[in-house]
Amino acid sequence: MERRDIPRGRFAPSPSGRIHLGNILCCLLAWLSVRQRGGKVILRVEDLDTARCPRRYAARMEEDLRWLGLDWDEGPGAGGSDGPYYQSERTALYQAALERLTDLGLVYPCFCTRAELHAASAPHREDGQVVYAGTCRRLSAAEAAERAKSRSPALRLRAPEEEIAFADGHMGLYRENLARDCGDFLLRRSDGMFAYQLAVVVDDAAMGVTEVVRGADLLSSTPRQLLLYRLLGLPAPAFVHFPLLLSPDGRRLSKRDADAGLDSLRGRAAAEVLGKLAYLAGFNPSAEPRTAEALLADFSWEKVPREDIRIPAGLF
Ligand code: GLU
C-alpha cells in the first residue's frame, strides 16, 4: 500500500507562547478528522522564527498536547522517517526548493523596507496584509546587484495573473487572483528566515500529509501554497479550514489571552476543556467533559459551524 493511501494529518503549531483554546481546537479537529479514518498524526513544530519560538516553549507545548490526550505517531518523541520535525532544522530543504523556483526564473530580490512597503499605495487586503506593489520586480540585474552591496534583500516569487480556486473541505469553493489579491509574495525575509508559505509546502509534501486542518485565518494563504505545490511538482493535500474561536468580547484569541491559555486551563481535567470546545464546535451535545477518544464517535465536519464561534463568557 502506498503511504498516501492512509490519511495523514498533522499538528503544525508555532510555539511562540503557551497554546490557547484556538490552538487546542485546531489540534483536536485535525486529530479527530484523521483518527476517525484510521490515519496517522504528525507533529511538526513551526519554529522558523527561533527568537519567538524558543525550544522550551516547544517542549511545554508537546507536554500540553500529551496532557490533552492528543497523541501523534511521528514527530518529537515519537520517531518517524521524515524528520527532523522542527522547522528550524529543515532549512536545507527550503533552500533546495528556493533554488528550484529560482531556476524557473520566478524569484527576484526585494530591497523595500517595511516603511516603504506600507507607504506604497498598494491596496490592503481584507485580512490587513499589504498587497505588494511590485516595486523591485522592475529592477534590472545591474541595479539589483548595486543595491545588494548595501542591503541584503528579501526574496519574492512572481505571482501569476491567474485565478487559483480550490474546494475547501469545510468552507467550500475559495478563489483568489494572486497578482491582484496578494501580489508577489515572500519566500525568504531579508534576515534569511524562510517564509511560512514556502516551508509549510515543502514540509507537508515531504511528510506525506494528505489533509491539512487549520483555522480560517489561513484560508487566504492556501492559493499561494497551491501555486507552490504546482511549481515544485509536489502533490497537494486536501485542505479543511474551520471557523475561528473568538473571545467573549468578540476578539480573535491570541497567545496573550491569559484566560484562554493553558496556564489557567491546566487546573482542570483535560476532558473538561475538550468537552466544552467540542460543544462550541457542534459535536458534543452538551458541555459535559469528554476525552478526545470518546469524541471520535460523535465528530463529523457537518456538525461544525462555518461562522466564527464566540466563547460565551464564563464557560471556561
Ligand atoms: N504554524 C501555523 C500556526 O501556528 C499553522 C500553519 C498551518 O497549519 O498551515 O498558525
Domain at 187, CATH number: 3.90.800.10
Q: Residue 123 has what pLDDT? A: 63
Both 128 and 223 in a single domain?
A: no
Residue 315 lies in a domain: no
The reply to whether 277 and 185 lie within a common domain is no
Asked if 227 and 167 sit in the same domain, the reply is no
Mutate to test the pocket of ligand 1, among 47, 196, 254 (most ligand atoms within 8 A of CB): 196
Q: Which residues contact 89 (CB under 8 A, 6 or more apart)?
A: none
Residue 220 lies in a domain: yes
- Is there an atom of ligand 1 within 6 Å of 214 CB? yes
* Residue 316 is assigned to a structural domain of this protein: no
Chain segment 211-238, per-residue pLDDT in tens: 999 999 999 999 999 999 999 999 999 9
**What does the DSSP 8-state code read for residue 174?**
E
Contact present, 257 and 37 (Cβ < 8 Å): no
Helix (H, G, I), strand (E, B) or coil at 3: helix
Q: How many CA atoms within 13 Å lie on the side-chain side of 80?
A: 23
Residue count of the chain? 316
Ligand 1 in contact with 9 (CB < 6 A)? no
SS3 string, 226-272, reads HHHHHHHCCCCCEEEEECCEECCCCCECCCCCHHHEHHHHCCCCHHH
Residue 294 three-state SS:
helix
Quote the domain boundaries for residue 122: 91-197
Q: Is residue 259 part of a domain?
A: yes
Q: Are residues 20 and 110 in the same domain?
A: no
Q: Percent of the chain scored above 70 by pLDDT? A: 94
Q: How many other C-beta atoms lie within 10 A of the C-beta of residue 241?
A: 23
Residues 236-272 have pLDDT tens digits of 999 999 999 999 889 888 766 656 667 777 778 999 9
228 domain-assigned = yes
218 CB near ligand 1 (under 6 Å): yes
Say if residue 137 is in the same domain as residue 274.
Answer: no
User: In terms of domains, do 11 and 81 share one?
Assistant: yes
* Å from CA of 13 to ligand 1 middle: 5
Q: β-pairing, 107-110 with 154-157? A: antiparallel
Chain centre distance of CA 165 = 19
Distance 35 CA to ligand 1 centre (A): 20
Decide whether any atom of ligand 1 lies within 6 Å of the 237 Cβ: no
The secondary element (H helix, E strand) that includes residue 110 is strand 107-110
Please indicate, yes or no, whether residues 138 and 178 belong to a single structural domain of this protein.
Answer: yes
| Residue 227 within any structural domain of the chain | yes
CATH number at residue 222: 3.40.50.620
HSE toward the beta carbon, residue 288, CA cutoff 13 A: 6
Q: Of 145, 170, 197, which residue constitutes the final position of a domain?
A: 197
Q: Is residue 131 part of a domain?
A: yes
- Give 147 Cα–ligand 1 centroid separation in angstroms: 34
- End-to-end distance of the chain based on CA atoms, in angstroms? 44
Q: Is the CB of 21 under 6 A from ligand 1?
A: no
By most ligand atoms within 8 Å of CB, the mutation choice from 61, 214, 219 for ligand 1 is 214
Closest CA to 256 of 24, 15, 20, 11: 20
Angle between helical axes of 91-103 and 196-206 (0-180°, round to 10): 110
- Looking at residues 302-316, what average pLDDT do you find? 95
Query: 164 and 117, same structural domain?
Result: yes
Which of 197, 231, 256 corresponds to the end of one domain?
197
DSSP at 287: S
Please say if the pLDDT value at position 275 is more than 90: yes
Q: Specify whether 72 is located in the same domain as 214.
A: yes
Q: Same domain, yes or no, for 218 and 264?
A: yes
DSSP per-residue string spanning 204-226: HHHTT--EEEEEGGGGGGHHHHH
Q: Does the beta carbon of 46 lie inside 6 Å of ligand 1?
A: yes
pLDDT tens track for 62-115? 999 999 999 999 999 999 999 999 999 999 999 999 999 999 999 999 999 988
Number of domains composing the chain: 2
Q: How far is the CA of 142 from the centre of ligand 1 (A)?
A: 38
DSSP code at position 127: T
Q: Which one of 90, 127, 213, 218 would you pick to mutate in the ligand 1 pocket, going by the greatest count of ligand atoms within 8 A of its CB?
A: 218
Asked if 10 contacts 266 with a C-beta cutoff of 8 angstroms, the reply is: no
32 and 180 part of one domain = no
Q: Which of 177, 197, 217 finishes a domain?
A: 197
Specify if 192 maps to a domain: yes
Residues 48 and 95 in one domain: no
